[in-house]
Amino acid sequence: MDAMSMYQEQILDHYQNPRNHGTLDEPVTIRREEYNPLCGDRLVLEMRVVDDKVEAVRFRGHGCAISQAAMSMLSEEIVGKSVDELKQLQKQDVLDLLGIPLSPARLKCALLSLKAVKAGVYGVPQYDIDEDDE
């Protein structure tokens, strides 16, 4: 199997079997919802930060394979990291996890996950999450 097919298989696997999927038990330190206005896809990310380290992560939502797989991959990546390390995460880190070239439209899908993490740790205000709207 070539490298590209391997990455595509991994994306599919994360999409079909998302890691850290669901709702985090309390206490939840950071809860953030992001959505892509172009397609309506959304992510709700929850993190528990203890002693400045991410102890647990859960996410839910719906969307295309790239948006959900990227969040699944990133969720594994961020457990154990400090808040400062989360602030340092770059677009390229998410692209490296996915490992395949993306069109500009797909880039938005991939970066929805990073947006949720960044906006969450920086405490960007947002409207209340409607838990029924899934």
d(CA 100, CA 109): 13
Site for ligand FES contains 61 (CB under 6 A): no
Burial of 134 (0-12, 13-18, 19+ CB in 10 A): exposed
Among 36, 72, 75, 113, the residue binding ligand FES under the rule CB under 6 A is 36
Residue 66: HSE in the Cβ half-sphere, 13 Å Cα cutoff: 21
Asked if 102 interacts with ligand FES (CB under 6 A), we say no
Contact residues for 126 (Cβ-Cβ < 8 A; gap 6+):
32, 33, 119
Q: Does position 113 bind ligand FES by CB under 6 A?
A: no
Tell me the HSE value of 30 on the side-chain side, using a 13 A CA sphere.
27
Looking at the Cβ atoms of 13 and 25, the one nearer to ligand FES is 13
Q: Which is nearer to ligand FES, 73 or 112 (CB)?
A: 112
From the list 34, 45, 59, 67, which residue makes contact with ligand FES (rule: CB under 6 A)? 67
Question: Residue 63, interface with ligand FES (CB under 6 A)?
Answer: yes
Q: Would you count residue 66 as binding ligand FES (CB under 6 A)?
A: yes
Give the binding site for ligand FES (CB under 6 A). Answer: 36, 39, 41, 63-64, 66-67, 109, 112
